[in-house]
Amino acid sequence: MDPALPYHLVRLARPHTCAGGLLATLAGAHLARGDTEPVRMVLAGAGIVLLIAAAQTYNDARDAVPDRIAKPHRPVAAGAVSVRTATIAAATYVALAVGSAVPLGVLNVGLAAVLAGASYAYSAGLKGHPLLGNLLVGVTTGSAAVYGALAVGQVGGRGRHVDADRHGSRCGQPAGVLHRRSSRPGGAGVVRLPSGPARCRRQPAAPRAVPGPAELVSGTGRHVPDRTALTPIRWAVQSTMVHRLPRA
């Protein structure tokens, strides 16, 4: 084996493109959940990097002949990597990507398979159609963030159910207690299940406190608003208006 083969395979994968896909995946996972799931995020990032490497490598294998004129510096066009070796490497990347998606769930496995098929279709002939080719590139590129969000289990605001019996510390409650994190004020809730495995579920946001009736201050004859039920600004405005009233 050529000692420089690993270097040429890395060049075929286009590391800068893989890095962009990795960042998009991690960003999608972070924005979807708001906290960290290190193992799942690493698996998702590795899967996207492998899928991008497979797409780039197979694309160069298909374009070996035209690249000898247009891009003679590319490894396959220059003869540093054979078409067969590049094709085998691309297939290996796809197998590893799908395998890394198995612990993440069926949705990630399905999306990884779809992205691999889309990349094959693009290299096999769709890139010759400007509209379809560009549309496919845009969809597959944007799917990296969706892949990361699926990995942590939240897409479109739907929370991932976490078994509190096994992950009580993640829910912030002991086993049997349900808890949900929320970025909105009052969005977290805790509920107990009567039976069955406890899971973290979405709870409705707590309603804002409604200002109570005015408090009568003995000896003044004035009604003063309850400070604890109002925001500081509203309390200051209403207090000013009250003190302007004549004494009873």
Q: Are residues 136 and 181 both part of a single domain?
A: no
Number of domains comprising the chain: 3
Q: Are residues 123 and 226 both part of a single domain?
A: no
pTM of the model as a whole:
0.62
Q: Are residues 222 and 192 both part of a single domain?
A: no
pLDDT attached to residue 128: 79
Q: Are residues 35 and 102 both part of a single domain?
A: yes
User: Coil, strand, or helix at residue 195?
Assistant: coil
C-alpha–C-alpha distance, residues 243 and 248, integer Å: 12
Q: Are residues 178 and 145 both part of a single domain?
A: no
Q: Are residues 248 and 220 both part of a single domain?
A: yes
Q: Are residues 47 and 134 both part of a single domain?
A: yes
Q: Are residues 136 and 61 both part of a single domain?
A: yes
**Helices (H) and strands (E) in the chain — how many of each?**
10, 4
pLDDT attached to residue 33: 77
- The dihedral through the CA atoms of 17, 20, 22, 24 has a sign that is negative
User: By the 8 A CB rule, do 37 and 150 touch?
Assistant: no
Q: Are residues 202 and 218 both part of a single domain?
A: no
Amino acid of residue 6: P
Give the residues across from 177 on adjacent strands. Answer: 192
User: By the 8 A CB rule, do 177 and 186 touch?
Assistant: no
pLDDT attached to residue 204: 56
pLDDT attached to residue 108: 95
Quote the domain boundaries for residue 99.
5-152
List per-block mean pLDDT (blocks of 10 residues) for the chain, which spans 248 residues: 84 93 92 80 95 94 89 89 94 96 94 94 85 87 92 60 41 43 45 43 54 46 53 62 52
Q: Report the chain's C-alpha Rg in angstroms.
A: 29
Q: At what angle do helices 83-101 and 38-62 cross, to 10 degrees?
A: 160
Q: Are residues 240 and 176 both part of a single domain?
A: no
pLDDT attached to residue 153: 77
